[in-house]
Amino acid sequence: MRRLYLSLLLFISCATIAISHVKVKESSIVSVSAEQQPLHWLIQSQQYIQPATLPTEVTIDSLFGPLHITEPLLIELITHPILERMRDVDQHGPATHFGAWPTFSRYDHSIGVFALLHLHNRPLIEQVAGLLHDASHTAFSHTADHLFKTGNEHAYQDSIHNWYLTKMGLDKLLARYGLTIEEINPDRPEFTALEQKSPKLCADRIHYNFHAGLVHGLITQEELHDMAKSLHFENDAWFFSNQEHGRKLADISLYYTEHCLACAANLVWHCWLCKALEQAAKLKLITLEEIHFGTDSGILKKLANSSDPLIIEMLKRCHNPHKHYCTVDTETDADLVDIPKLRAIDPLIKIDGDLFGTPLTLCDDEYRKNMNALRQHLNNGIKVRFAPETALA
């Protein structure tokens, strides 16, 4: 992993605490000190010292209601700097910061995934893995997949997960509880509730689709709670006992993929932000460590304060993307082509004593057609041409 890190260098040349109880909000404003110190959260993590006394209980807000946590390891992690940093790393990446989509932090998502695992009584080790599964995301989330060219099928943060947690000092914390970083890697096959091969349901996909549906106005909080009541995990598989609820979450996944994650605007935002980050790194305005261990707002502030013409131009495009590109039908007319990942889900439905369950696509012809249509659309590629006056070099 160290070799990977060095190669990337070349590539770019708490709420008030009472001892008995703590209440942690799902989201909060990032402290000024974190903005003033680019590597604030890395330093805080590396200097972390085990508290002399832990609260006996921590209450955290989640998408599914308040959770009361009494397990010491979970209490330490929930208040640890590695999780606090994620309050200022947005799930949507650049789209949120340039005014297009509602905010949705990696902290909120991590707490939500943990909540699902906790509420469905998964083993403690899998709950820990879920809580930390996104901790290795760089600033701007999946922008790193474009910056470090890992492609749409292989998230950059997954490739550095163990290394990242080690750099943040989690190996020492986990060792006190008899665990190693490798043992909580979210890709371990025994963590069947946390991760499954696409398009099956898993805690990760379930939460980000629920949350996306809520923040994009596709469902209400009341509808979310009703849907969650018919969601179950048995025999290594998530399923809905109400087909209508399964279809509703599946429809959200289609919308979220087509109109957000795989849309042309998201592609150009990642492209232009990468250009700005690469230029800032070359000019030594930011470092590779800041991209890995810093936050969205901290890096954006440095970019916004830059007088470099290229950085200024890239940010201008990001703020008004539709003025600077159009979609085209053929690759020969395109400046940028991408085949986005299909993030649609195919929930398992179990009704009326169905022992094994049936995928939604086998019991809902309309959804199957809609999913296949989106798959074909994405396989054809998203093709973008930049406006002549702003064509990239």
CB 41 within 8 A of CB 81: yes
pLDDT band at 390 (very low <50, low <70, confident <90, very high): low
Q: Is 21 helix (H, G, I), strand (E, B) or coil?
A: strand
The structure's pTM equals 0.90
User: Which of these, 281, 266, 337, lies nearest to 311 by C-alpha position?
Assistant: 281
Q: What is the C-alpha separation between 287 and 269, in angstroms, rounded? A: 21
CA distances in angstroms from 389 to 247, 321, 325, 360, 386, listed in the order given: 45, 13, 10, 47, 8
| Backbone dihedral angles phi then psi of residue 343, each to the nearest 5 degrees | -110, 20
Angle between the N-to-C axes of helices 296-304 and 264-282, in degrees from 0 to 180, rounded to the nearest 10: 70
pLDDT band at 97 (very low <50, low <70, confident <90, very high): very high
> Which sign does the torsion angle of CA 112, 115, 120, 122 carry?
positive
**44 vs 33, higher pLDDT:** 44
pLDDT digits (tens, 9 = 90+) for 184-217: 999 999 999 999 999 999 999 999 999 999 999 9
E strands, the chain, where? 21-24, 57-60, 67-69, 231-234, 237-240, 325-327, 336-338, 348-349, 358-359, 382-386
pLDDT band at 220 (very low <50, low <70, confident <90, very high): very high
Contacts of range 211-215, beta carbons closer than 8 Å, 24 or more positions apart: 211/63, 211/91, 211/104, 211/108, 211/109, 211/112, 212/104, 212/252, 212/256, 212/260, 213/248, 213/249, 213/252, 213/256, 214/63, 215/101, 215/102, 215/103, 215/104
Predicted pLDDT of residue 102: 87
Predicted pLDDT of residue 175: 98
Predicted pLDDT of residue 391: 52
> Average pLDDT, stretch 302-323?
96
Predicted pLDDT of residue 16: 28
User: Which of these, 10, 240, 49, 250, lies nearest to 148 by C-alpha position?
Assistant: 10
Which residues, including other chains, have CB under 8 Å from residue 162's CB and lie 6 or more apart? Answer: 1, 181, 182, 185
335 has pLDDT over 90: yes
Paired tokens of 41: 């959260």
> Average pLDDT, stretch 151-177?
92
> Average pLDDT, stretch 75-81?
95
